[in-house]
Chain A
Amino acid sequence: MKSKISAGRIIIYVLITLGAIFMLLPFLWMISTSFKTQPEAIRIPPTWIPLHPTLNAYAEVWQKVPFPRYIYVSIITTVFTLLGVLITSILAAYAFSWFEFKGRETLFVSILSLMMIPIPVYVVPLFILVQRLGWIDTFYALIVPWSVNVFSIFLLRQHFRSVPRDLYDAAVIDGCSRFRFLFTILMPLTKPAIVTISIFSIIGSWNAFMWPLMVTNADRMRPIQVGLAYFAQGETTNYPALMAASTIAILPLVILFFVAQRQIVESYARSGLKE
């Protein structure tokens, strides 16, 4: 009986390990190719560990293409979008959870219904609007329209509401203003939710593609994903350079993922639960 159970367990481990190897394979192949020379990259049979590892591909990507500039544009966009999302959602969620006013629920439900409309539906008129504002090839176009996020307002409101009313009454007796209550009591108590919306915002901005592709014509205003996509279109067969560029484009988020792995996985798990 016992040996039968362990045989079953071995099969489970074999299956999930094979799956895991397949999940990692594209990343390993990307990294391996990025350290090769072009002749070795297209050699058959392929080598897994480069015979003559070289950083040439990275140097090429760094010098020939304005990758440092792309990274700078992406960082600025990500940081300021995050700030915008935090400010707009914290304030709106506070109004929706701790203030009484007429039409509050109706307004909240109307805002929620906006989540049902996918971006491609209105992306062309949005582009025309941004163009008329003269924002093409500026950071405004990359940041401002995405500085508000309905899901973030929703998630924070749910968490703000769960904080007991007694805390507020006690704070008021101690002479605490409504603003101090938000910053010193409500926000520290709902830190996991604030971390969650920050993670979604960072990952979303860094990986955004369609919108930045539309609003940036000048090479110096391209975020990294758009820069990489154009680079890939031009250099279709320079595999080491393509893989080096891809490695650079995913590296910041992979580092973030390994640092804040538990928070990220839990954030995504939470996003799927009905509350």
Chain B
Amino acid sequence: MKRYIAPFLLLLPALTLLLVFKVLPIIYAFRLSFYDWGIAGEKGFLGLGNYISLFKDPFFWQALINTFYYAIFTVPLNLIFSLTIAILLNRGIKAIGLYRTIYFLPVVTSIVAVSVVWKWLYDPNRGLFNFFLTSLGFSPLKWLEEPRGIFEMITGLRLPYILKGPSLALFSISLMSVWKSLGYNIIIFLAGLKNIPQVYYEAAKIDGASPFYSFRNVTLPLLSPTTFYVTIMTTIISFQVFAPIWTMTGPPPGGPLGTTSVIVYYLYQKGFEEYQVGYGSAIAFVFFLIILAITIFQKTYLEKKVYYEV
């Protein structure tokens, strides 16, 4: 018995905190999602009632579509840019430390401050981006105040919500997020690229392979474990976007016309601001199931394409 005392005491602080502030709230969230719990407090068991209301709630569907649009644009853009820059930086660049520092800088800065600065850049009347656009002879854009979907703007057609694409407002937030988190993925890709043995490139060169051929048949397969990791992480993080919505959009946040309301923002609005605790918890659980499903999907389908070196 005595040999259990030391590890028990060592684990006590961590386990107590995890139990009280993580495990209990998780179990509680699951339980609450089956209860009618609003401003007046708990009013009884509802069964699947909250989930059924959620299914019929057009604002929930809008938030869900917006979140998927946000992720579908943010993740690939982030991957393409970060991989390209990492490959360029990996080619024996002088002062690579300086470049790495510059690209990484936004990662450590606060998302709130960055959002405030980008809102100013996107300002429709006085913002720098519109100044660039008009100087180049383009017409100015409404950026964060533009509810029209980007496909709608490009094609000029009137499309149903699901085909409109993200509103320009949501897409503007996507662009900012790519800028903000690019540096992290560049660092991870650089570490992955360093692990590829130089001999493969030399062998490919001797065989007369073009740089594109080497990239396609050496870099991409050997880098695939890193790419896989980066894809999963970037997707999970982009599903949790919240601060830029609160800081940059509206008033009220989520605007214009609800086109930037994402699932975590909707959860915050229902569960916290409106104190619909039961309903909010149902949103939280659907959110968790979506993240879980995406992770499992990526693990089963994408991981097949991952080449792990033996």
Contact A45 B25, beta carbon cutoff 8 Å: no
Q: A92-B14, A128-B277 are in contact. Are A100 and B3 (CB under 8 A)?
A: yes
Q: A114-B18, A120-B287, A126-B21 are in contact. Are A269 and B110 (CB under 8 A)?
A: no
Roughly how many angstroms separate A118 CA and B111 CA in the complex, as a whole number? 18
Contact A42 B21, beta carbon cutoff 8 Å: no
Question: Which of A14-22, A53-61, A167-175, A183-191 lies at the interface?
Answer: A14-22
A203-236 with Cβ < 8 A to chain B: 203, 206-207, 209-210, 213-214, 224-226, 228-229, 232-233
Contact B14 A91, beta carbon cutoff 8 Å: yes
Tell me if A's interface is mostly helix, strand, loop or mixed: helix
B93, B107, B109: residue with the most chain A Cβ atoms closer than 10 Å:
B109
Roughly how many angstroms separate A124 CA and B37 CA in the complex, as a whole number? 12
Contacts of B285 in A (CB 8 A): 121
* B161 interface residue (CB < 8 Å to A): no
* A164 interface residue (CB < 8 Å to B): no
Q: A24-B102, A272-B230 are in contact. Are A88 and B17 (CB under 8 A)?
A: yes
Roughly how many angstroms separate A101 CA and B17 CA in the complex, as a whole number? 21
Contacts of A249 in B (CB 8 A): 110, 112-113
A118, A206, A225: residue with the most chain B Cβ atoms closer than 10 Å:
A118
Roughly how many angstroms separate A41 CA and B22 CA in the complex, as a whole number? 46
Interface size, A (range): 35 or more
Minimum CB–CB distance from B225 to chain A (whole Å) comes to 8
Contact B112 A209, beta carbon cutoff 8 Å: yes
Minimum CB–CB distance from B110 to chain A (whole Å) comes to 4
Contacts of B288 in A (CB 8 A): 117-118, 121
Contact A246 B117, beta carbon cutoff 8 Å: yes
* B307 interface residue (CB < 8 Å to A): no
User: How many chain-B residues does the 8 Å CB contact rule pick out?
Assistant: 88
Report B89-128 CB contacts with A as 1/0, cut-off 8 Å: 1010100000111111111111111101111110000101
Contact A118 B291, beta carbon cutoff 8 Å: yes
Roughly how many angstroms separate A265 CA and B188 CA in the complex, as a whole number? 10
* A257 interface residue (CB < 8 Å to B): yes
Roughly how many angstroms separate A269 CA and B6 CA in the complex, as a whole number? 34
Q: A122-B22, A125-B281, A242-B116 are in contact. Are A89 and B184 (CB under 8 A)?
A: no
Contacts of B247 in A (CB 8 A): 229, 232-233
Other A-B pairs beyond A117-B22, A121-B26, 13, CB < 8 Å:
A26-B118, A33-B120, A88-B14, A91-B11, A118-B287, A118-B288, A118-B291, A122-B26, A124-B271, A207-B110, A210-B242, A210-B243, A224-B110
